[in-house]
Each structure stands twice: as C-alpha cells, then as structure tokens.
Structure 1
Amino acid sequence: MPIVMDAEALNGFLHGVFEQVADDFIVESVTEEALTVRLRVSDKHLRPGGTISGPSMFGLADVAVYLAVLSKIGPQALAVTTNAGLDFLRKPAAGVDLIATCRLLKLGKVLAVGDVLIHSEGQPEPVARANMTYSIPPRKG
C-alpha cells in the first residue's frame, strides 16, 4: 500500500491532534517498508536508577504503530490499540534518545498488526520489541 502521509505530515498531525505528547516524538522517516520514530528522552521518561521507564518505551511502540498505520490510511485520529505485547530485552543506554522502527505485518480494512524494535540511539542491539494490533475506524461515505 502506498504512503499517504510522509514524516512531515505525520509530525504535523501529532502537533494538531496530540499536542500533549507531540514534543516527545518525532517521525524521522517513512518508507513503504517501515516507519522510524524518535522518543526525545528527558527526565520525565526516567525511572529510579536513571533508566528509561517501561511506560515510556510502551508509549514509543504504541505511537510508532499508530503512525505507521496512519502513514498508509491517512489521518484517522480514532484508530485505537486493541492488543499489545512488549518484551524488554536489555537496559537502555543512559542519556540518549530511543529510536523505534515499525513494520506493518498486516493492514486490513478493520485491523492492522505491527512489529516494533526499539533501540537506544547509536546502539546495534534492541532494548525492546513490541507487537501491537490496531482497530481502524470505518471510513465515512
């Protein structure tokens, strides 16, 4: 399926619809095969011990799949997560952003399934892996 929304359009969508988190995430690239999004890590994303919190990594994975779906279907603010799984593989590097790469494994009329690998910036080994299913609202008209 061709790209309907590129990185610029997706970043603009986040700022228009999800202003409360838009400054945390930036879509870096969108291709036919994958979407890459960055979590700008700040103190609010850290847990005791100085590592990035699980909820922050979950949020990054969730946003990555959401945006990957929108990159293919256009601005559908009401697409929602219906299932999620997250494996924490290793401790993220301190003081660097997290980068998520999402591949859509299935994009149907009502469901989309995505796979996400999360890396600490500059590190080759993933820190987490997620799989998520999204429900796509019916198209009007």
Structure 2
Amino acid sequence: MGIVMDRSALTDFLALEFPQVADSFAIERVDANELVARLIVGPQHLRPGGTVSGPSIFALADLAIYCAILSRIGPVALAVTTSASVDFMRKPAAGRDLLAHCRLLKLGRLLAVADALITSEGQPDPVARASMTYAIPPKA
C-alpha cells in the first residue's frame, strides 16, 4: 500500500482534528519507508532541570506513529493506541527539537505495529525508542 496522505494532508488533518496540539508538532517527511515528525520544544515540554519531559517524548512517538499509519490508510480519526512501550535512553540535548523517525512494521486490516527512534535534532544518538500497536476501526 502506497502513501495515501502526504505531509501536507497530515498537517491539515492534525490542525482540524487535534488543534490543541497541532502547533507543537510538525510532519517533516513522509515516504514509502519512513515518517519523520518533529516536537517543537517549548517551555511547556520541559521538566525541572530543563530537559524534555517523558510525557512529551511519549506524545511525539504516539503522534508520529499515528501519522505514519494514517499516511497509508487515510484520515481515520478513530484509530487508537492499544499498546505502547517506550525506552528512555538518554537525556535530550538542551534547546533542541526532537525528531521521531517512524517505520511501519505491520499494517493489517485491524491492527498496525510501528516503531519510532527519537533523537535530538542534530544529534546521532537516540533519546528514546518506542514501539506501539494501533487498532484500526473496521470499515463501515
């Protein structure tokens, strides 16, 4: 299955369906092998000590994987996370956005499995790794 929603379509979808968070994220790239999403790090994403919080890193992974799935199946707002695991590996670099590099591992009719490797912009070593499963609602 090829790309159904490109970067522009995903950006428009997020603005329409999730306006409360759309300004914190950007879809950087979508192709047949990978989706890259950005967390635009602001003060609301920081924990004491000035590092990006775990919930913000989780949110980036969840949004990025969701968009990777939608890029293939189209605008299915009710696709939901059914399983999630995040390994936090190192402190993000100060003052840098985070990037999630996602790939779909399995895309079925009712379930999708994907992973995301999260890095600080400009840094090669991963900050976190996430693996998630999504339930896709049956077509009506």
TM-score calculated relative to the size of structure 1: 0.99
Q: Distance in 2 between matches of 1:80 and 1:5?
A: 18
Per the alignment, residue 20 of structure 1 pairs with 20
Q: Does the residue aligned with 1:101 lie in a helix, a strand or coil?
A: strand
Instruction: Give me the whole-angstrom Cα distance separating, in 2, the residues matched to 1:8 and 1:28.
Output: 10
- How far apart are 1:139 and its partner, in Å? 1.1
- Which amino acid in the other structure matches residue 61 of structure 1? A
Deviation at 1:11, TM superposition (A): 0.3
> TM-score when scaled to structure 2?
0.99
User: Once the 2 structures are TM-superposed, how far is the Cα of residue 107 of structure 1 from its aligned partner?
Assistant: 0.2
| Per-residue Cα deviation, 1:99-133 (whole angstroms, up to 9, x for no partner) | 00100000000000001000000000110000000
Q: How does 1:14-93 map to 2 (within 5 A)?
A: 14-93=14-93
**What letter matches 1:90 in structure 2?**
R
Q: 5+ residue gaps in structure 2?
A: none
| Deviation readout 1:16-38 (Å, 9 max, x if unpaired) | 00000000011010000010000
Percent of aligned positions with the same letter in both sequences?
Answer: 65
Partner of 2:128: 128
Amino acid in structure 2 at the alignment position of 1:85: S
Distance (whole Å) between structure 1 residues aligned to residue 60 and residue 88 of structure 2:
13
In the TM superposition, structure 1's runs of 4+ consecutive aligned residues that sit over 3 Å from their partners are none
For structure 1, the residue ranges without an aligned partner over 5 or more in a row are none
SS of 2:114's equivalent?
Answer: strand
Q: Deviations over 1:36-58 (max 9, x none)?
A: 00000000000000000000000
Q: Deviations over 1:38-97 (max 9, x none)?
A: 000000000000000000000000001100000000000000000000000100000010
Number of positions where the alignment pairs a residue of Structure 1 with one of Structure 2: 140
Q: What is the SS of the residue equivalent to 1:3?
A: coil
Alpha-carbon separation, structure 2, partners of 1:102 and 1:36:
6
Root mean square deviation of aligned Cα? 0.4
